[in-house]
Amino acid sequence: MVKKALLLVAAPLIMFSTGVRSQHVVEVFDKVLFYDGYNSLEGLADVMTPLPEGFFRLRTSLITTKLSEEQLNRLSGSIRMDITLKAACDNYDRVGNVNIAFVSKDSGLYDPNDVQRIEIARFITPFMNKNRQPDTVPYSYQVDYLKHIFQDRTLREQYDFWIELDIFGVPYAANNEVIGCSGRSDTFYGTLYFTSTSSESVSEDNNVFIPLFMKHNLNNYRESATDTIGKTTKSISFTVEQNLTDAQLVLITSNHGANAGGEEYNRRWHYVYLNNEEVLRYRPGRTSCEPFRKYNTQPNGIYSLYPRTDAEWQSFSNWCPGDVIDTRIIKLGALSAGEYVFRIEVPQAVFVGKEGYIPLSLYFQGKTNGTIAENTGISSIMNNNTSIIVHPNPVSTELHVKLATPETVNYTIYNVIGQIVLQGKLQKDSETINVESLSKGMYFLKIAGKEIRTVKIVRD
């Protein structure tokens, strides 16, 4: 098991001004092409486009590249990860994800089954026809906490860091339904880059990092998948060897199984426990999938011909093609050394006909001194495509916030150094924040209700 402290640093490949501070862009993948996920590298060897030097196909749907020391040193401060998919010949909804593989130093290309990996982002591809616009879909994640992995001194000495982009696609329907896709095996083009706000290289040795699950297929009908047959529950134990001043769990789940009554579209309550104490309760799913309708340019069974109401979406939707899947940060605060047991339960999951599963990814982060949040004042960081819809963004005067539930919530806006610049309450009939008094630049909007959401906004 990989265990140790981590940290990030950023310096620019490309620099541009945000009105607050310089941003530094580290490009990782640029329009790399993915192929039929059910085929093999050998089976498609004659049709696949060669990758640039330093990029490798581990599978037809999985491409990897090693981050250079220069790239690693350019990832610090506030870090955003952006992914863009461009349609080729898959016109159905699938799942993609981004991983970090920890490969023994200077050992070269690896087998993903033989190395420690963690998942750092997950998303849903849309029903997209390459001949219609838009033919690209963006996904964005605020991932400041990754700097404690990328810049950890001991990890950097022991491992090379490889970034994997995994976009599973299947071209068979598009071969018949999309003009220009007959006989083709390519599915999507993928682009990925990081943007950071610090150019000062920092090295840390006061962190703890424990990978726990990497896309474990949780269900209630296989012994290896669940703790108890018939119940959707999974536990794992781990040891914290030192007292920690701050700690968190980083969790990604999403339901799969499109059979009748299956789990892909059902909004099930998830319960997370640490040493039998509940630390998180959530129900995946959006208030509405309407913001992602524009990316679903191929007729499909999720988006009807006409917009649905929020109530209609919430009655069934756990799944918005074209959306990110949340990365849930479970803040634990100070933690004593000792033995811990993580457990997740989804008691209402059905898995009709023993089909479907819930891919579960999880890792633990802690610090022996200081805090993981690094003076941001943000107690929970979520992806910016969450159950809160914020528009326009960038914003000039009035920011409109659409809430997932009709509850009254508190909001706080922080600047990039963690200072509170605005705060107040939002209600169902009062969903507008006037930001005209703010200087131009980047801010973080934190919404605190039954769950905590943080969204990056830009005042222009």
Average pLDDT over residues 109-137: 97
Chain segment 374-389, per-residue pLDDT in tens: 433 333 333 333 456 7
Average pLDDT over residues 270-274: 96
Asked if 242 contacts 207 with a C-beta cutoff of 8 angstroms, the reply is no
Is the pLDDT score of 442 beyond 70? Answer: yes
Name residue 394's amino acid: P
Scanning 43-165, the segments in alpha helix (DSSP H) are: 69-72, 147-150, 153-158
Fold classification of 389-459 (topology level): Immunoglobulin-like (2.60.40)
Mean pLDDT rounded to a whole number for the chain: 87
Query: Could you give the percent of the chain with pLDDT greater than 90?
Result: 66
Give dist(CA 401, CA 415) in Å, integer.
18
pLDDT number for residue 378: 33
pLDDT number for residue 240: 96
pLDDT number for residue 382: 39
pLDDT number for residue 289: 94
* Cβ-proximal residues to 5 (8 Å cutoff; 6+ apart), any chain: 148, 152, 153, 154, 155, 204, 205, 206, 207, 208, 209, 367, 368
- Return the higher-pLDDT residue of 39 and 455: 39
CATH class of 14-367: mainly beta
- 118: tokens are 């963690």
Chain segment 297-310, per-residue pLDDT in tens: 999 989 989 999 98
pTM of this structure: 0.79
Is the pLDDT score of 404 beyond 90? Answer: no
Is the pLDDT score of 87 beyond 90? Answer: yes
**219-228, 333-342, 417-426 — which is least confidently predicted?**
417-426
- 29: tokens are 């993948």
Chain segment 48-71, per-residue pLDDT in tens: 999 999 999 999 999 999 999 999
Q: How confident is the model at residue 157 (pLDDT cuts 50, 70, 90)?
A: very high
Scanning 123-207, the segments in alpha helix (DSSP H) are: 147-150, 153-158, 172-177
- Return the higher-pLDDT residue of 200 and 24: 24
pLDDT number for residue 377: 33
* Cβ-proximal residues to 46 (8 Å cutoff; 6+ apart), any chain: none
Give dist(CA 189, CA 88) in Å, integer.
7
Average pLDDT over residues 198-218: 89
Chain segment 233-267, per-residue pLDDT in tens: 999 999 999 999 999 999 999 998 866 667 888 88
* Cβ-proximal residues to 17 (8 Å cutoff; 6+ apart), any chain: 23
* Domain residue ranges of the chain, discontinuous segments joined by +: 14-367, 389-459
* Cβ-proximal residues to 76 (8 Å cutoff; 6+ apart), any chain: 7, 8, 9, 10, 147, 151, 196, 198, 200, 201, 202
Asked if 216 contacts 10 with a C-beta cutoff of 8 angstroms, the reply is no
pLDDT number for residue 388: 66
Query: Could you give the percent of the chain with pLDDT greater than 70?
Result: 87
Q: How confident is the model at residue 416 (pLDDT cuts 50, 70, 90)?
A: low
Asked if 145 contacts 250 with a C-beta cutoff of 8 angstroms, the reply is yes
How is residue 69 annotated by DSSP?
A: H
Chain segment 23-35, per-residue pLDDT in tens: 889 999 999 999 9
